[in-house]
Structure formats: structure tokens, C-alpha cells
Structure 1
Amino acid sequence: MREHIQEVLKTLELDYDIKVLYACESGSRAWGFPSKDSDYDVRFIYIHQKNWYLSIDHERDVIEVPSRDPISIPIDPLLDVSGWELTKALKLFRKSNPPLLEWLRSSIIYYHSFSTIEKMRVLDEHIFSPASCLYHYLNMAKGNFRDYLQGQDVKIKKYFYVLRPILAAKWIEKYNTIPPIEFSSLVESILPAGSLRKEIDTLLKRKIAGEELKLEPRIDVINQYLHKEIEHLELYVKGINIDIPDPTEQLNQLFRETLYEVWGE
């Protein structure tokens, strides 16, 4: 699959006259709990030719294959490929966008070229906004908790889509740094041994083993933990007030340097 993903990325470069700077896995495979039928959620950052940026009307700044954008080769049905144009990525980076920060920390990298990503990684701790990231993870957890885990019988695998953002938020509360992308790292650092940890470890083993984990009776010890932490984090995040220096000029310079590095003078 890795070779196919790299072929898709090279084809996108030709089809759309772009250069891919970075591509990684961003979904359950990067989080460390894929199922046998999990998609490959490939996310990439790309840059256009110079003239694209010298137009009064910029075109679409996202490429999504196969959902919205065509590609000239067949693509594996398990592939979900989505990319952000560099200036879009840098604007989101300036806002401490958690999905983008996770991309930069993915342990599964499919493609990496030029120096842009290393420069972003140097800057990411300086642009990191604890409040912004906490709000993102908290809202994600609240929405998934409300939508998936309120009945007597629930889709057990949905617990991971509430647990992971809650644990990421708890990491920020505890360390005031960007949380790791791997679920196991979050669990080991945030949750002590006990009945809650045991239930989560069991669920994780079942999911990785390929069990379907369809509707089953909800796990009260996990539900109670999630409910308590959502209430706690809602109060905690309101008290965060950290000023982040405006990195706009640094990011402007990073964009210009990338434009010259990729396409020349």
C-alpha cells in the first residue's frame, strides 16, 4: 500500500502541477488502533507554481481524492487522500490547528521533501495555543459522547473517538505541551492502573485483533469517567489565558523560502 500511496502522490503532482512537501497517516493507523478494514487516511501539504499565487483570484486550496477531485490512475478503495495548499496550512498552523499539529507528529510518513516541515516543527511549540487545542479536543469529545454513547447499547468502538480527545486534552492540562498522536502514549501517561484502565486496555486489544465491536451494553466505568472529565475540562479551559506572540511574519518568510526552494528564483 505504501508504494501505491506514493504513486498516487506523484500522480497528483503531475495532474495538478504541484509539489507535495509532506504526506503522512492521520487516522486510526497513526493513532495505533487500526482494524483490519481501516481506511488509509493520507494527509498531505503541497505548494503550487509561483503564478498560482500571483493571481487576484485564488482557486480551491484543498485536494480531496477520490471524494471531490479526479486523478488519472485507479485508486485503492481503502485510500482517503486529502491535502492542504501551503498557505492554507500555514494559516491554520498560526491558529494552532490540532489536526495539523498531529500530522507533524505522525509516526507513519509516506513522503517528505524540502525543508518546510522541519521548519514548521521548530516553530510549533512557539505557536502552540493550549486553549485553542483544548477547545478543539473538548468539543470533539462532547459531540461524539453525545452522538454515540448515550444509549444502553452503544457502538463500543466509538469509545475511542471520545477517549482519545479527552486524553489529549488531559495531556495539555498536565504538561502544557502538544499531545502525542499515539493513543497508547496518552493512556500510559494519563491513566493510572485500575478498573478504568483495564476496561480500556481490553477494548483496545479487541479492536486491534479485528473484532467488530458492534452494539454492546455500554461500559459504565468509562462513561462515568468521560462525563466527569468533560465537566472538569469545560471549567478548566475557561481559566486558560496565555498570550501567544503573533508568528505571521515568520510564517510569511517560511512560505517565501519554500517557494524559492521548490521552484527556484
Structure 2
Amino acid sequence: MKEILIETLQRIEREYDVKILFACESGSRAWGFPSQDSDYDVRFIYVHKKEAYLTIDPIGVGSKRDVIELPINNMLDVSGWELTKALRLFRKSNPPLLEWLRSGIVYYEAYSTIEKMKTISKEVFAPTSCLYHYLNMASKNFREFLQGDKVKIKKYFYVLRPVLASRWIEQFNEFPPLEFQTLLQTVVPEGELRQEIHTLLQRKMAGEEFDLEPKITVIHDFLEEEITRLNAFAKTCEADVPNFTKRLDNLFRETLDEVWESSH
């Protein structure tokens, strides 16, 4: 599969006349609980040639898109962000982008940009905005998937992961790891709750198809209480984020020089 992914990325570079800096897995495979039929959620960051940025209409305005998305097929979901878009989101401590940078499954990396972003990421990390991102996700999915006496049990992971990520931020004041097992073992004490979640995880990874089943009370009650508690905690956090614009401007210019001068 990696060969197919690399060929796909090379085709994107040719067709769009860009250079890809980084490509990683961002879905259930990166989280450590793929099903047997899970597709590959590939996310990448790319940069245009210098002249594309030296225009009166910036990239991202009008027809000059700052996203490349390939048609989704049964196995591949491939999309990428243009570098200035990625850096603007990075400046705001965007959790999906921070997750890409921490993915344990990297399909491709070239040039020094991503390593520099990783170095800056601890400073860019804003606990409050990341907390609200995960808690909004957890609340929405809890309302949408886990109401009623019977639920699709696998949908618990759509709520568990953001809740455990929020707990990690609360406890350690740092961006959480992607791997679900690491979150579970670290922020959920040993006992009935952890065992129920672990059993559910094993069932999912074994490829069991979960139809509607009676809700698991111990997990359901934990999630409901934690969403309320963590939302209250988030309101006590300071929201100050330093302005990294100048450093990120310099990183962008350095990338243009490195990528396009080395390609001549």
C-alpha cells in the first residue's frame, strides 16, 4: 500500500506543479484501533512555486484553492493543505494539524520544514483552544450517536478519544498523543471502566461489526459526567496565545528557498 501512496503523492506533485513536504496517516490507523476494513486517511502539506505567491490574489482567495482533495475510493482518502494555510492554522494551535505532526505513521517527509514546525509546536500549543476542540467534538458525537437505550457500540470511540485527549491536556498541559492505548493506560485508572473500554477496543480491532446493542452504562455515565466536568475546567483556563506570525513568515520563506532552489 505504501508504494501506491507514494505513487499517488508523486502524481499530485506533477499534476498540480507543487512539492509535498509531508504526508501521514490521520485516522483510526494512527489512533491505534483500525478495523480490518479501515481505509487509509492520508493527509499532506504542500508548497507552490515562488511565483504562485507573488501575485495580487493570494492563494486561498477565489479560484486559487489552498486544498488538494482527491476523490475518495474504497481504500484511500487523500487530502492536503497548502503551506500558508497550514501555518495560519498552526499559529492558532489547530488540533488536526498538531495531530498530523505527531502521527506515528509517516508516509513521506522531505526538506526541513516539518521538523522545524515540530520544534515550535510545544510553544504554539494552546491548551484552551485544543480543549474546546476536543470537547465540542465529544459533545456533538455524544448527542448524535449515544442517545437511547440501544446504540452502535463502536460509536463510543468517537466520544472516548476526544474525552481522553481532553483529560490528557488537563493533567499534563501538553498536546495529547494520538495512540488510543496510550491515552487509556495513562488517564483512566485501573478498574471496571478501563476494562470495559479495553474489551470494546479488542472487539473493534478484531473486526466485529457492531449493530445496535444495549448501551454500556459505566462508559456512558463516565462520558456524560466528564464532558460536563471538563467543559467547566476549560472555562478556568487562560486563552493567551503568543503571536508567532514573524517566526512562521520566516519559516515559510526558508521553505520556498530550500524547496525550489534545491530542485533546480
TM-score (norm 1): 0.95
Equivalent of residue 121 in structure 1, options 110, 118, 141: 118
* Counterpart in the other structure of 1:185: 182
Q: Does 1:240 pair with 2:245?
A: no
Q: AA paired with 2:107?
A: Y
**1:243, distance to aligned residue in structure 2 (A):** 2.5
Q: Does 1:7 pair with 2:32?
A: no
**Counterpart Cα distance in 2 of 1:248 and 1:39:** 36
**1:96, distance to aligned residue in structure 2 (A):** 0.2
Give the conservation status (yes or no) of the 8 Å contact 1:126–1:244: no
Equivalent of residue 75 in structure 2, options 74, 78, 84: 78
Give the conservation status (yes or no) of the 8 Å contact 2:193–2:218: yes
* Counterpart in the other structure of 2:252: 255
Give the CA RMSD over aligned residues. 1.0
**Counterpart Cα distance in 2 of 1:63 and 1:215:** 37
**Counterpart Cα distance in 2 of 1:245 and 1:103:** 22
Aligned-residue identity in percent: 62
Q: Tell me whether 210-219 or 40-49 shows the greater mean CA deviation.
A: 210-219
* Counterpart in the other structure of 1:63: 68
Q: Does 1:18 pair with 2:27?
A: no
**1:234, distance to aligned residue in structure 2 (A):** 1.0
Q: Does 1:220 pair with 2:217?
A: yes
**1:104, distance to aligned residue in structure 2 (A):** 0.4
Q: AA paired with 2:14?
A: L
Q: Give a deviation string over 1:112-165, Cα, whole Å, max 9, x none.
A: 000000000000000100000000000000000000001111111110010000
* Counterpart in the other structure of 1:72: none
**Counterpart Cα distance in 2 of 1:231 and 1:83:** 34
Q: AA paired with 1:165?
A: P
* Counterpart in the other structure of 1:51: 51
**1:244, distance to aligned residue in structure 2 (A):** 2.5
* Counterpart in the other structure of 2:143: 146
**1:242, distance to aligned residue in structure 2 (A):** 4.7
Q: Give a deviation string over 1:48-67, Cα, whole Å, max 9, x none.
A: 01111112223100011115
* Counterpart in the other structure of 2:42: 42
Q: AA paired with 1:108?
A: I
Q: AA paired with 1:66?
A: P
**Counterpart Cα distance in 1 of 2:32 and 2:230:** 25
**Counterpart Cα distance in 2 of 1:252 and 1:147:** 40
TM-score (norm 2): 0.96
**Counterpart Cα distance in 2 of 1:115 and 1:137:** 29
Q: Give a deviation string over 1:84-129, Cα, whole Å, max 9, x none.
A: 0000000000000001000000010000000000000000000100
Q: AA paired with 2:198?
A: D
1:264 is paired with a residue whose SS is: helix
Q: Tell me whether 39-48 or 51-60 shows the greater mean CA deviation.
A: 51-60
2:19 is paired with a residue whose SS is: strand
Q: Tell me whether 240-249 or 106-115 shows the greater mean CA deviation.
A: 240-249
**Counterpart Cα distance in 2 of 1:121 and 1:26:** 16
**Counterpart Cα distance in 2 of 1:213 and 1:199:** 15
**Counterpart Cα distance in 1 of 2:209 and 2:32:** 17
Q: AA paired with 2:132?
A: Y
Give the conservation status (yes or no) of the 8 Å contact 1:86–1:255: yes
